[in-house]
Structure 1
Amino acid sequence: MAVYLHEEDLPEGVLAPGPVAVDTETMGLVTRRDRLCVVQISDGKGDEHLVRFAAGSRYDAPNLKAVLADPAREKYYHYARFDLAAIYHYLGVMAGPVFCTKIASKLTRTYTDRHGLKNLVTELLGKDMSKQQQSSDWGAPTLIDAQKEYAASDVRFLHEMVEIFRVRLEREGRTDIAQACFDFLPTRALLDLAGWEDKDVFSHEA
């Protein structure tokens, strides 16, 4: 298992065919203000790849974009809503189709209100992960080893968890409604980018 850091694009051919786990690191939580700094991606075979974008980047990244936009590759996320918006805003591709472990958790782990990635890794896999670098400076000219390990861990466990959630969704009869939620996520991300991030357009209220 290794963590690879790449500048501005993903090298061609480093990922095996099939679904990929994806995550992003940004300068903050306001997508249009806080630039995309890192995209993490893993094919679930043991390695994680981090693609770092420098300040002033043009976000060309043709190899990364090709993987993210590939409709034949399912993308695994934890809280896909944010990542889809960041990727679309900066890289210009909608990175689906989607499986979101946060939504799957909320639909199946109704016995708890703890749906963070660290909580899921602990309960489902019996493993631990550090969130110490979550709020660090991802736009720094050089990423420290702790940042790289944190970023890699955000995609390291998603393949295993997706398989567990598929079983639980089927067991609870919620596979179809989960899929409908996943299918809506690209539209939800576009609504966020268009200014409706704090509004429920389905609500009766103004």
Structure 2
Amino acid sequence: MTVHLHHGDLPDDLDLGPVVAIDSETLGLRFRRDPLCVVQLSSGDGDAHVIQLNRPDYDCPNLKRLLTDPEVLKIFHFGRFDIGMFQLHLGVETRPVYCTKIASKLARTYTDRHGLKDVARECASVDLSKAQQSSDWGAAVLTPAQLEYAASDVLHLHAIRARLNEMLAREGRTELARACFDFLPTRAALDLAGWDEIDIFAHS
């Protein structure tokens, strides 16, 4: 594994290919309280690119271009949160997307364990460490442990997606999953507009 640290934005000449795994790190899980600090990406080749964003201006045109590129599929785990953070802080709608958490919930109906650690263990035979999950991602200098953690969250999403796609196809749920993925940016927009705690599809 090689981790490439970039400050502010992706390099101009970096081509990550047609399918990119993406995750983000923030100072917390509240949209308007907690800033977006780090975005990590992997093309599935064993390398990870970690961007330490410049706050509060978020001047990262190359990253924004990638997030909105209709020819590049972006893989997330619980994409709803990352996509919302990108809408809020970067001002872009991320499409097209694939969420391994949604795919897991549709395919792995025999369990209620759909966190990345559990999904990675079963679908990619990888045991992820979550020791740095709660750490200061706004620090001026990220530690080697933080960089390794950030990289681990995206390095295996391609393999996880491949396995979940097999399961979705076997159960006849591929199109249902795709429709859910297409709705994710709208779900994130609802979160930002104040419906984050409300299921608008519920009866009451």
Instruction: Please tell me the TM-score bracket, short chain as reference.
Output: over 0.9
| C-alpha deviation, 1:14, in angstroms | 2.2
Report the equivalent of 1:193. Answer: 192
Summarize the alignment of residues 123-162 of structure 1 with structure 2, pairs less than 5 Å apart. 123-162=122-161
Identity percentage of aligned residues: 56
Give 1:176's aligned amino acid.
Answer: E
Report the equivalent of 2:201. Answer: 202
Calculate the TM-score normalised by the size of structure 2. 0.97
Report the equivalent of 1:6. Answer: 6
**Deviation per residue, 1:117-156 (Å, 9 max, x gap):** 1111111121211000001111111110100000011100
| C-alpha deviation, 1:15, in angstroms | 2.8
Report the equivalent of 1:20. Answer: 20
Aligned Cα RMSD in Å?
1.0
Report the equivalent of 1:45. Answer: 45
Gaps of 5+ in 2: none
Distance 1:199 1:57 in 2: 29
Report the equivalent of 2:168. Answer: 169
- Contact kept? 1:40, 1:152, Cα under 8 Å: yes
Report SS of the residue matched to 2:128. coil
Distance 1:159 1:123 in 2: 14
Distance 2:125 2:17 in 1: 28
Give 2:25's aligned amino acid.
Answer: E
Distance 1:189 1:126 in 2: 30
Report the equivalent of 1:178. Answer: 177
| C-alpha deviation, 1:16, in angstroms | 3.1
Report the equivalent of 1:33. Answer: 33
Report the equivalent of 1:104. Answer: 103
Tell me the matched-pair count. Answer: 204
**Deviation per residue, 1:16-62 (Å, 9 max, x gap):** 321100100001000111000001111111210011124x4311101
Report the equivalent of 2:82. Answer: 83
Report SS of the residue matched to 1:16. coil
| C-alpha deviation, 1:67, in angstroms | 0.8
Moved more, 117-126 or 181-190: 117-126
Distance 1:69 1:176 in 2: 22
- Contact kept? 2:22, 2:41, Cα under 8 Å: yes
Distance 2:77 2:180 in 1: 14
- Contact kept? 1:15, 1:42, Cα under 8 Å: no
**Deviation per residue, 1:76-121 (Å, 9 max, x gap):** 0000000000011111111111110000101111111111111111
Report the equivalent of 2:71. Answer: 72
Distance 2:16 2:101 in 1: 25
